[in-house]
Chains A and B, each alone.
Chain A
Amino acid sequence: MSFLRRKFYSYYLNPHIEFPQRFDRREYAFILFNEDTMHRHLSFSSRNDILSYLKMNIPAHAYYSSAYYRHPSAEKMMDKEWMGADLIFDLDADHLPNAGNLSYEESLKEVKEELKKLLSFLTEDFGFGERDIKLYFSGGRGYHCHVCNEKVLELGSQERREIVDYITARGLDMKKVIGEKNLPAEKFSGKFSIKTIKINPMQGGWQGRIARAIIDFFKRIKNMRREDAIKELVKIEGIGEKTAMAIYDALTDERMRRIEVGLLDQSTEFRKIAKPLVRRLAVSLHSEADEPVTADIKRLIRLPGSLHGKTGLRVTGIDRRRIDDFDPLTDAVVFGENPVKVNVLKKMEITMMENHFKIEKGEARLPEYLAVFLVARGFAEVRPP
């Protein structure tokens, strides 16, 4: 038995599995060590059966279906008889625009920011309660968010795609979001009307989100030193130094007061600012094929409490109020500190279990948790004893 498989076995002797709701209506799938194929169309009628499967087969990856089926073990999708599905959001570092340049730890931090954005959409806009939403570290390079709510169960993929489009701002109509209006001329400005954009921070939905973001943005700019503010403004696409200076210099106290109640003048500049703000507010959630996985009503997701074969980390639930404190490289670690002799293939630095490691190539004695992580990721080997 290989080192990794042996370690997984020791975990699966007494694992902390979190069984999905209505676990007997789900399809299960596993990938075993040294195999490429997936063992699919399995179903279990008791929790103990799942536990014994894990103990007997020691899978490298364990999944269950987000869908409920009448016959979860039927081979053909048609025969399974779909009964509904949880709403699943898969936030993966691979979906980030700058994924390639980040270390494992950095990319997980970035994904966490996306997770927080997602959570704010789900609770504020969609109104899901604490009991509906479950958050998990995926064991790999991301986070999963499961929404289990009676009302969303039966939604089809087209409807789910609308939800994805909402939180990713796809199809957002900017004209509608920042309505432009010609206001009647004010007394002192003579007979000309002023083009004004009226935004309402108190509104719900995207309108309100963008309004609040625009107001916060100008407040921040106003409080900056002139050169810093201009630096910040030119970062925005379509704004040159001249426009940036003009915007900053025009931010008088009087204008700030107007902005804070949602009256924006000088429409074009503000429009330029609104667009990039939308990108910052929206969740990055698209997979490589640009097809949102959430809309898939038959997908497989990792079983909470199982181990991820490419990291040795556990798919771990996260307390919503403690997202910031969650550290995957501590909180999802299941193995101990016994030293293990490994052959390191790649020089690297990593912080795990709050210990910082500087690892050189070649032979080393490392704590078991780190050895498992490196071997699973292919950065080290263990010779058979």
Chain B
Amino acid sequence: MKEAKEWVKEQKVSVEEILFDDLYERARERGVERVRQAVDEGIVREVATVSEADCIMEIFSYPVARMIVASVESEYLVRRYALAEAKKAYESMKGEESGFIDYLAREMGVEVNGNEIYFTDYLKYAPTWDINWKLVNREMRKGYVLLSKSEVARLIQEAIRKKIYNELAFAFAPPEVKKVFKDEILSIKNKVIFKEEKRKVGEVKEEGFPPCIKNLIAAVKSGINVPHVGRFTLVTFLNAVGMDIEEILKIFASSPDFNAEKTRYQIEHITGRISGTVYATPKCDTIRTWGLCYPDEYCRNIRHPLFYYRRRARK
């Protein structure tokens, strides 16, 4: 990536040329396609590059796509696009030799040593709220965490996603971009708005929540630092009863170490938007062993917080 950036610079091609010159027609088309794929499929597909010209167009399509994303001015799109590009990188890592993964890792500033990764980088990019990714359950020696090849690729995917997101979150595209891609930007904007709307669902009856969940909400809202497992329980529950990400995010906003982007990523992971796995709400037994259970009179004979809610919310 960095190399491609350097290469683009060396070509001394101006933004005007990319936007207007016939020579770059193919790069512009592919740029639009990248964004479309991100919106529609959640991943940017790889294209077969046969000739050197194909390669060049593929490389130039990337800055084009970024300019389009920046012009749409939607935080949702920035997130979705960053993830889609990161997934593309993950797919390309899967088929490659480990040399390529090492190379990408270095580009991202991640300290990788074969299948080992330095723990601070691991902590930055691993979904540690998942028990399998918790550091304590990992083999670590002298600061390096031992991973499988695909796990290394997974962490680099996250590093790439974060990097693209951070670059685009506050980026402005040159005003000409809006003119050149006027129709495309409009149609992408509409799609994005539609997608965002669709995720908002029916009303949630908070008074029917079980006491453990109410406690967690109160703790989070009053700024008490809630442990991982508590946050995890809360998110899985709120997701199961139909709250959307924005609403869940709002609850977490008063947490002392609130980080909107990171919290959103965690929520999206737990709720299956990113990982494809929707994590189940833990059952009462589990919540009890975590020390988060404060039963009330309705908790008798209830073995799962969602049963409690279903029973109480119906009334």
Interface residues of A (CB under 8 A from B): 124-128, 151-152, 155-159, 161-163, 165-166, 169-173, 176-177, 203-208, 290-291, 295, 297
Contact = CB atoms under 8 A, between A and B. Distances in A.
A362 to B, nearest CB: 48
Contacts of B309: none
A297 B257 CA distance: 10
A162 B123 contact: yes
Given A157-B225, A157-B257, A126 B137 contact: no
Given A127-B142, A152-B120, 11 more contacts: A156-B259, A157-B257, A158-B262, A161-B228, A162-B136, A165-B135, A166-B135, A170-B136, A173-B131, A205-B138, A205-B141
B115 interface: no
Size category of the B interface is 20 to 34
9 contacts: A126-B142, A127-B141, A157-B225, A158-B128, A159-B120, A176-B132, A204-B140, A205-B140, A295-B225
B252 to A, nearest CB: 12
B134 interface: yes
A295 B123 CA distance: 13
A172 B120 contact: no
B139 to A, nearest CB: 4
B276 interface: no
B228 A127 contact: no
Nearest to B290: A171
B136 A207 contact: no
Contact of B136 (A152, A169, A204, A290): A169
B118 A204 contact: no
Nearest to B131: A173
Contacts of A127: 141-144
B118 to A, nearest CB: 7
Contacts of A125: 140-143
A131 to B, nearest CB: 14
Given A155-B123, A156-B257, A171-B131, A128 B136 contact: no
B288 interface: no
B136 A171 contact: yes
B109 to A, nearest CB: 12
Interface string B134-156: 11111111111010000000000
B56 interface: no
A125 B135 CA distance: 11
B257 A205 contact: no
Nearest to A125: B140
Contacts of A161: 227-228
Given A125-B140, A127-B142, A162-B128, A151 B135 contact: no
A23 B143 CA distance: 27
Given A126-B119, A161-B228, A162-B128, A171 B139 contact: no
Given A151-B118, A204-B140, A162 B134 contact: yes
A157 to B, nearest CB: 5
A158 to B, nearest CB: 7
Contacts of B134: 162, 165, 171, 173
Interface of B: 118-120, 123-124, 128, 131-132, 134-144, 146, 225, 227-229, 256-257, 259, 262, 291
B142 A166 contact: no
A165 B143 contact: no
Contact of A204 (B139, B227, B291): B139
Nearest to A160: B123
Nearest to A122: B143
B139 A203 contact: yes
Contacts of B131: 171, 173
Contacts of A158: 128, 228, 257, 262
Nearest to B119: A126
A382 to B, nearest CB: 43
Give the most central of B131, B135, B225, B229: most A CB within 10 Å: B135
Contacts of B118: 151
A162 B146 CA distance: 16
B134 to A, nearest CB: 5
A165 B139 contact: no
A176 B132 CA distance: 9
B136 A172 contact: yes
A23 B222 CA distance: 33
Nearest to B257: A157
B253 to A, nearest CB: 15
Given A125-B140, A162-B135, A295-B225, A204 B128 contact: no
A126 B120 CA distance: 10
Nearest to A162: B135
A68 B109 CA distance: 23
Give the most central of A165, A169, A207: most B CB within 10 Å: A165
Contacts of B291: 290
